[in-house]
Amino acid sequence: MLPLILLTLVLLWQCVLIGYTYTLAGNAADEAARAAAVGGDCEGAALRHVEGAWASSAGVRCGGPSGGMVTATVTLHTPVLFPGAISFPWDVDGEAAAVWEGKGEDR
């Protein structure tokens, strides 16, 4: 019975890590889009909101004002059991958009 309990705990922990990775990616993309909306540092805002081992593998793409909107996409690797060790072969993308509030171009 003990191996079954341990396996269940490991699977639950992995589900928590996957969910937290989605949460981090979404929040970082949201913050990046907000920063880009006012002409701020999109990539810097995203990286400030990504923690620990996820930060080393974070990829940030920011789209400039187009049609009155700015976009941000944050890509994070999904860890296996411990952040910073090995990762699953798929990535988690967080995407966000915000209304362009800056001055000048394409408003």
Domains held by the chain: number: 1
- Distance, in Å, from the CA atom of 37 to the CA atom of 14, rounded to the nearest integer, reads 35
- Between the CA of residue 92 and those of 3, 57, 84, 99, what are the distances in Å? 30, 11, 15, 24
The residues, ordered by sequence, that sit 6+ positions from 22 with a Cβ below 8 Å of its Cβ are: 92, 94
Residue 29 lies in a domain: yes
The pLDDT value recorded for residue 103 is: 67
Residue 53 lies in a domain: yes
Residue 68 lies in a domain: yes
Q: Note down the domain range covering 85.
A: 2-99
pLDDT in tens, 14-33: 999 889 989 999 999 999 99
pTM: 0.81
